[in-house]
Amino acid sequence: AREVLAKTSGSQCDLWSLGVTVFIVLFGYMPFSGSEDRQVRAIKEGRYTVKKDVWARVSQKAQDFVTQLLILNPKERLTAEMALLHPWIHERDKLTGTAHIDNGIADALTQFAQASSFRRACMGMMAWSLTNEERAKVRDAFIELDADRTGAITLNEFKKVMEEKFHVSDENVKQIFDALDQNHMDEIHYSEFLAAMVSTRIALHDDLLKATFHRFDTDNTGYITPENLKEIFGGSSDAQEMAKLVAEVDTSKDGKISYAEWIQFLKNGDSEDHHMEAAVKLIDSKVNETGRDSSKTCRRKSTQPDLVFDDDKKATNKSKDPSCCAVQ
C-alpha cells in the first residue's frame, strides 16, 4: 500500500494486502508488474493492470470487491467490517448453509469444561502442534459460532448456539465458556477452541503427542519434572505445587513424568482437579510466548533435541543441538 511506502502504515494496509491477494486469486496475475521502480510508481498512483479479457470472466461483484480494496485513499478503502458486509462476501457466506456444529462438537466442548485444568493445559499445548489439515476438520464449526466474523467467539454468540440448538443451561454454558476462555479475555479464540476439539474431534496421534511432550520437557531429559514446570511458570511458582502436579501423573513415583506415563494420562486417566489448578497457567504462558513478534530474538534458547521413542515409549536424546525457543 502507498502508506507502507510512506512509512505511515495502519490497519487499512491489511485491507490493501487482502485486495492484492484476492486480485491474484481471481485474475491469475500480479496487479503491479515491471521493474521495482515501475511497481512503486504504480502502487503510489493506485494504478493496477486490468486485462479486460480476464476480468470479463469474473463477476461484477467480485470485481467491485477488489477495486474497493485497492482504493488509494485508506479512508475511502473498505474496512474489515465493510468487507465482511460486501455483497460478494456476504452472499457467498450464506451459501455455505450446512450446519457444522453437531452433537459431537457440543459434547467435545462439554467434556473439555469438565476435564481437569492440567488436561485442558495439555490439550491447549497440543492445539499449537496441529497441522493445517487437522485444524480444517473443525474450522467451519468455529466460523459458524463466530457469527459476527470478528475472529473470536463472544459469550452471547456461544450462548445463542448452545442454548437454542443443544438446550444447554445458562449455568453450564458459562462454565464451558470460562473453561475455553483461558486467557480471560471474555472471548474464545481459535487456539482455545482447537484445544477443546483435541482427542475427540481430532485424533491423538504419535506426532502430536511427541510434539507436545517436547514443549513440556524444556531441558530435553526425556521426562517432565517439577523443575520443567517451575521454569515455565517462572521463579515465583511454588515448588511444592509443581511436585504435586507431577505426582498426579507420575505412576512410577520417581518424581518425574515419563513419556509412557504421559501417554497413559492423556489417553486414559484424569487426575484430581484440585491438585491441577496451577497447571492451567502452562497454556497461558505458551500462548503469550507464541503471540510475541516472531521476528524478535527469542529470550531463551531451547536445548530440546529430537527424541527417539523406543517400543516402550521411553524417550531418549538423539541430538544435543539447540534450536530457537519459539513455539512452532
Per residue in 101-123, pLDDT (tens digit) is 888 888 889 888 888 777 887 88
Element (H, E) at 308: strand 307-309
Burial 115-148 (b: 16+ CB within 10 A, else e): bbbbbbbbbbbbbbbbeeebbeebbebbbbbbee
If one compares 89 and 9, the residue with the highest pLDDT of the two is 89
Q: Do domains 2-95 and 103-197 have the same CATH topology?
A: no
Half-sphere exposure of 10 toward its Cβ, with a 13 Å CA cutoff? 8
At 95, the pLDDT band (50, 70, 90 cuts) reads low
CATH class of 206-317: mainly alpha
Q: pLDDT by residue (tens digit) across 268-307?
A: 654 444 334 444 444 444 444 444 443 333 333 333 333 3
The phi, psi pair for 323, rounded to 5°, reads -140, 170
pTM for the structure as a whole: 0.58
Q: pLDDT by residue (tens digit) across 252-268?
A: 999 999 999 988 888 76
> Does domain 2-95 correspond to CATH entry 3.30.910.20?
no
At 233, the pLDDT band (50, 70, 90 cuts) reads low
Structurally, at CATH architecture level, domain 103-197 sits in Orthogonal Bundle (1.10)
Sorted by where each begins, the domain ranges of the chain are 2-95, 103-197, 206-317
